[in-house]
Structure 1
Amino acid sequence: MTQLDDDGLGIIEVVIAMFLFMLIAVAVLPLTMQAVASSAQNRDLLAATSFAKQQLTTIQAGYPATPGSTSGSCAALRALQTAPPAVDAANDFRAQVTVGVCPGAYPASVPVRVTVTHDGDTVTSVTTRVRVGASSRTPLRRDDDGLTLVELIIVMLVSGLFLSLIAVIFGSGLSAQQRAAERNAATGALNAATAAITETVRSSSEIRVSAGGRRLDAQMLTHDGAAWECRAWQVLDGELRYSAGATPRPAADTGWSSLASEVTGSLSGGTAFVENGKRLSLGFALTSGDITVTVTDGANAQVIAQTGGTPCW
């Protein structure tokens, strides 16, 4: 009959057990690193977009869209291309201005783009139109008598608690990363939509708000200045929808392109658009899970009305 040996585990067995626990702990590190890197990328994109919009706001302040204004020449505007780039020292961003070709007749609007770079790589670019006039190691046991059953149970309990703590920390980090990703995605969708709308408004001669502040129509001069286009946006059944064409846009339906879901108006009375002459104010609220993101903006219709083209309403 074989006698059972209850002298416990040898030092080699303990080392192997600790090595396995270490592998399990290290296995979660790449996932955590990936989550942190993704969050940093989204944060940089939002910061770069905000920096670009600040530069455009500064440029537009020097070229007011007041009707009849001839302040600022196209040559002075194009001179911004040779000026030293604006610097965001906190994020190490550089903002370079690119101005389109000056038109043959004035007053007119000129496309202006601000491109934000980091270490020579483009992070984002924003375009608008400007109106111009003329990780301790624990020492190993030095006795080689092995561990008793009680000591082994204690080691297993402590190791289990340690792994549980890692799981809780990882779970919390993953949850926070998911929430941040949802918020960034929602913000990005709304920023892209509002940027498209405000750019169209600045390139338009007329705008109209209808459907209780939920629909916007604009008569836009295309970038080549050769044709007019009718564009429309409407918040319909929780979706921001869009349509464009050479003729007046019909009533909004599911055939229109969907730009974002779970969207409502965030302005007074739940409206999405408010028109004051040629000035448009817009505001959207997008809900993703338990996160709600709100974005507001505004723009003026800057193109001088010309003959030709089909009315858009």
Structure 2
Amino acid sequence: MIPTHPHDEDGMTLVELIVAVVVAGLVLAVVSIAFVNGMIAQRDGVSRDAATGKVNVVASSLSTSIRNATTVRVAPDGARADATYVGPDGKAECRAWALVKDADGRTVLAYRADASSAPKPLPPADQSWGVLATDVTGTLTGGKLFASTDGKNLKWGMRIRVDVDADDHIDVAVADGATAQAVHGGVPTC
């Protein structure tokens, strides 16, 4: 009989170690890519939700005000709309929405209301007006934000851009309209 030598099976060979490291690296790479993609999707979803929320606030503000108005007027360039709003107490006020440049040069949708005793046209839009949304562009014909043909119906179309990071953004667009339905005699128009 030939004597046999017991094989040492307690360790790993260099080849087995290299294969294990390569396989572990591949698995880690796949998991990392999935994790990073999930983080990017989450960030984009949050940004899209923020942009959609801004659009909904603006659209709701416009719809409510216009439906409770007696008249609407749109500037020839479509960048401003004025409405004679009648509140639940029967008192009239002037409400206006306009595209203006902020201190950083971005286009914002500004809003102002005046509930003085006699409605009067609001002054030109400027940085003192309240800001409803930033980075707004009109999407109606000719890049207009507002359009009206009869002083009762107001259409609007806009795109709001929300920056995700320095290199990426999300745009959310809305196009809608409302009709001035309030009836109130003797109220001067804005």
The verdict on a shared fold, with TM-score over 0.5 as the criterion, is yes
Look up the match of 2:177.
298
Matched, 1:171 2:36: yes
Look up the match of 2:99.
235
| 5+ long unaligned stretches in structure 2 | 1-7, 102-106, 163-167
Look up the match of 1:33.
none
Identity of aligned residues (%): 39
Alpha-carbon shift at residue 235 of structure 1 (Å) = 1.4
Contact 1:273-1:281 at 8 Å conserved across structures: yes
SS of the equivalent of 1:276 reads coil
Alpha-carbon shift at residue 152 of structure 1 (Å) = 2.2
Matched, 1:184 2:49: yes
For the aligned residue pairs, the C-alpha RMSD in angstroms reads 1.8
Matched, 1:221 2:94: no
Aligned 1:98-247 pairs, distance under 5 A: 145-210=10-75, 212-223=77-88, 225-237=89-101, 238-247=107-116
1:276 to 135, 141, 149: 149
Alpha-carbon shift at residue 312 of structure 1 (Å) = 5.1
Alpha-carbon shift at residue 202 of structure 1 (Å) = 0.4
Look up the match of 2:161.
287
Whole-angstrom CA distance in 2 between matches of 1:191 and 1:268 = 22
The residue identity in structure 1 corresponding to 2:95 is R
Whole-angstrom CA distance in 2 between matches of 1:206 and 1:305 = 10
| 5+ long unaligned stretches in structure 1 | 1-6, 8-143
The residue identity in structure 2 corresponding to 1:240 is L
Paired residue total? 168
SS of the equivalent of 1:303 reads coil
TM-score, reference length from structure 2: 0.81
- The structure where helix makes up a greater share of residues is 1
Alpha-carbon shift at residue 176 of structure 1 (Å) = 2.1
TM-score, reference length from structure 1: 0.50
Comparing both chains, which one has the higher relative contact order based on Cα–Cα distances under 8 Å and sequence gaps of 6 or more? 2
Whole-angstrom CA distance in 2 between matches of 1:190 and 1:176 = 21
SS of the equivalent of 2:147 reads strand
